[in-house]
Structure formats: structure tokens, C-alpha cells
Amino acid sequence: MLGAGAASAALALAWGRVGQAHAAPLDATTTGWGSGVKVRFFAGGNAGDAFASIVFNGAQQAQADLGVSVDYVFSGWDVSKMTDQLREAIAAQPDGIAMMGHPGDDALLPLAQQAADANILMEYQNVDLPKVRQQFGGGYIGADLTPQGRAVGTTAVQKFGLKSGDKAIVFGAWGQPGRFFREEGTAKALEDAGVIVTRIVSPPEAASDPNLLTPILTAAYLKDPDTRLICQAGGQTLSTTPTYMQAINKGPGEIINIGYDLSPAIIDAFAAGWVQLTSDQQPYLQGYLPILSLVLSKKYGFSSLTYDTGAGFVTPDNYKPVADLAKAGIR
């Protein structure tokens, strides 16, 4: 895995590419066993954001280890942009494409057909596409979202003693096909315990600019000032918890803040008492394994890899062992 220095260098390189539709392949070794294989890799967000940067680090490590040629695509978590970029990727005729599943089955089914007709291998990460994969194949590298979300909610109830009548706010990608399974799992687990849940849309743009959520969260809290728990939809907004809490004049631990993913800012929020629970879905593996899968399939005809990257829970009691890895851009 990348050391802190290598990860920092990768992140610095990534920051230099913010705003590009895609980046040229790195000058990585071409003598590995994957030499000659060309991959178009979708990192999801902007090159420097908290989640996409870890995905990018994992993909770069796979590129270096295997000697594969990789063209990186950054989409700012914009599903329309992702779809357009996938059309461009198919037209470029790589050997394989590692695609974020955020646009959903319906949007990507016709493009998966085009890729299959062009004999382009497909692998998917972060958001599963069961209809696409059933019809056209391809593996999925990412958390099993519904069980992951339900486990977060169940753990929160048990760990924090939530009871019937308590109130919670759960942010999620409500209304976006295939995107809210995890958050819905959390909301339903809370409701099963009698917690009153308010579901609020977290705008896709907040993944790139978490401050966009500040007025939305503030308005929601002012409407229900006895809210005990807030669940964020992703690591980018969870990492901004101190800002949100200060906006509603709350100190560390006065409201239970939970969510998904890790980042250096989330580690700092654990240390300062702002965040109480997160579920790590190991985005580094969502970078590394799709490229490995595509190379294995291209070189040796192996079936596509499918792997649940959900890694369990991080809390104030156990965050220290992964703190250095998070700050190195690995966890």
C-alpha cells in the first residue's frame, strides 16, 4: 500500500488535475504483468475530495503494481457528467472501464450494451448496478449498501441508547434511483426502534462542496431542536460536522453525529468529540480491485471480481489504530 509520502504525492498530483474531464495516464512502470492493458478509471468525485482521493490512491497503486495503462476520469459526483464521460470512454475503446455506478441501472443499461458490443470489459464500484450486471456481466467492488446502512442504524440505537420517541435526521440521496439504499437502511433501522426519522435530501453538489449543506442542516435542526442524532450521507459532509454543529450553536457530543467513510478530517472530528460513529467502506479497495479485476479478466479470462468493501465501524474508542492510515490517504 502507499506510504504517507507516496499518498501525499499522489494527492498533490490529483489536486493539480481538478476540473479536468480526465487525466492522462501516469508514467508508471510498463513492465508489470498487466503491461499492455488499457483501462479508463472513474474516481467519482473531484480529484482532491475526501473520498475520491482515496479511491484515486488505490487505483494508482494498482497501476504501479500491475504496469497497466490507466486514464483517470473525475466527475464531481455529477451523474449526468458521469454518463457523458462513459460514452466518451466507450468511444475511446479501452480494454476495460471501471465505472462508478451512481447514474443507476436505467441510465447505464444502454451504455453497458454498447460496451459489451465493443468487447470492452466493465467493472463497477461504490454503487451497485444489479440489472446492468445481470444482463451484461461485470463485478462490483463496494459496500453491500442496504445491510451496511441498516447496521449503522442498529449500532447507533444500541450504542447510544436511543429510544422510542427520540428524533433523528438522516441525510441521503432520496429520489436518485439506486443511490439511497444505504441511508434508507439506516433510517428504517432507527424507525424499527421507535425513533422518529426526518429524511432530508443531501444535494449531490454537497459531496464536492460540503458547506452547501450548512443552511439545509440548520433549517432542519431549527424545525426540530430536540433532534438527538444526525446521520450524514457520506464522508465529505461527515467531515464537516464541526462546521454544522457550530452553525447551530452545539458543542462536541451534544448531538450524536454518525455516517459513513473515513478521512483525515473525520479522524480529527473523532479526536475532538464531534463524530461518534462511522462505517468504513474502504475506498482504497474500490480503486485497487476494479483495475486488478479488469486485468485478470483481460489477461487470463477470469470472471469479474465482486467484493464487499464494508469494513465495520469506527468509533471514538477504536479510531486511533486507523488514524495514520486515514491521514496517509489509505483508509
User: Which domains can be identified in the chain, with CATH numbers?
Assistant: 4-143+281-310 (3.40.50.2300), 145-279 (3.40.50.2300)
Q: Which residues of 157-181 are buried (b: 16+ CB within 10 A; e: fewer)?
A: beeeebeeebbbbbbbbbeeebbbb
Q: What was the pLDDT predicted at 142?
A: 96
> How far is 163 from 143, CA to CA, in rounded Å?
28
Q: What was the pLDDT predicted at 207?
A: 83
The grid coordinates listed for 92 are 475511446
CA angle 248, 194, 155 (to 5 degrees): 75
> Virtual CA dihedral for 51, 52, 54, 59, nearest 10 degrees?
150
Long-range contacts of 129-134 (CB under 8 A, 24+ apart): 129/101, 129/104, 129/105, 129/178, 130/105, 131/105, 131/106, 132/101, 132/105, 132/108
pLDDT at 258 over 60: yes
Quickly state the pLDDT bin for 6 (edges 50, 70, 90): very low
Amino acid identity, residue 260?
Y
Q: What was the pLDDT predicted at 264?
A: 92
pLDDT at 5 over 50: no
The grid coordinates listed for 325 are 492510515
Quickly state the pLDDT bin for 62 (edges 50, 70, 90): very high
If one counts every other C-beta atom within 10 angstroms of the C-beta of residue 88, the result is 12
* Range of weakest confidence among 23-37, 71-85, 190-204, 209-223: 23-37
Quickly state the pLDDT bin for 15 (edges 50, 70, 90): very low
Q: What was the pLDDT predicted at 19?
A: 36
* Residue 220 burial by Cβ neighbours in a 10 Å radius (0-12, 13-18, 19+): middle
> How far is 33 from 295, CA to CA, in rounded Å?
9
Element at 38 (helix H, strand E): strand 38-42
> How far is 22 from 74, CA to CA, in rounded Å?
6
> How far is 74 from 21, CA to CA, in rounded Å?
6
* Range of weakest confidence among 20-34, 67-81, 268-282, 292-306: 20-34
Q: What was the pLDDT predicted at 50?
A: 83
Q: What was the pLDDT predicted at 28?
A: 46
pLDDT at 26 over 80: no
Under 8 Å between Cβ of 56 and 287: yes
> How far is 251 from 273, CA to CA, in rounded Å?
9
Q: What's the whole-model pTM score? A: 0.84
pLDDT at 260 over 50: yes
Q: pLDDT tens for residues 179-211?
A: 788 999 999 999 999 999 999 999 988 888 999
CA distances in angstroms from 221 to 41, 110, 201, 218, 269, listed in the order given? 39, 42, 14, 5, 20
Q: What was the pLDDT predicted at 2?
A: 40
